[in-house]
Structure 1
């Protein structure tokens, strides 16, 4: 789940991994509570960065992951199981992406790997 970091300050607006949101704002955006965000952090689904003052900061990517966990919890799935499901879904998506990339490379060996 490593991504490129932006080269310029203005690129941060488009960077899904830039920790732009405070805990309160993040919770509001995904329709949950700060306690839920702490719980998914404790379950190691997401690891928010900390500001210089020690406050949690979340990226858009982390909010999408937390929102997916919230959908599962809303379907009466325990939070630990929901977090595991989200991690497995993310791994499956990455495996599919790599598989497709390998297929394209095998079909056209002159093509360099990558998106």
Structure 2
């Protein structure tokens, strides 16, 4: 955890807080140390950026989840449009 916090320029407490918010769940080594995947560190970096801008940590975690959901919905919509052979959203003129 210390090394991950160092890489992000933050504290272990920050990583614990986003873990408690269930945004990321690190694996545990046999000795009980937290082990983070690179994608988890990217998520933590995104949240840290929001927190650095003054967003409370719980709100930053929620924003991150909502941004991911929006990105996925846009991807699915694009797939549906391609399957229909249309390049514009339905209802657009």
Could you say which TM-score interval applies, normalised by the shorter chain?
A: 0.7 to 0.9
Structure 1: gaps (5+ residues): 1-22, 109-115
- After superposition, what is the alpha-carbon deviation per residue over 1:46-78, rounded to whole angstroms, capped at 9, x for unaligned? 111111222111111111111111011111111
Alpha-carbon distance in structure 2 between the residues aligned to 1:63 and 1:76: 20
After the TM superposition, list the runs of 4 or more consecutive aligned residues in structure 1 that deviate by more than 3 angstroms.
none
Give yes or no for the alignment of 1:80 onto 2:68.
no
**Which of the residues 69, 76, 85 maps onto 1:98?**
76
Whichever structure has more helix as a proportion of its residues is: 2
Give yes or no for the alignment of 1:60 onto 2:38.
yes
CA RMSD, Structure 1 to Structure 2 (Å): 1.4
TM-score by length of 1: 0.70
Q: Decide which structure has the larger Cα Rg and report it.
A: 2
TM-score by length of 2: 0.85
Q: Which segment drifts farther, 47-56 or 31-40? A: 47-56
Residue-pair matches, total: 86
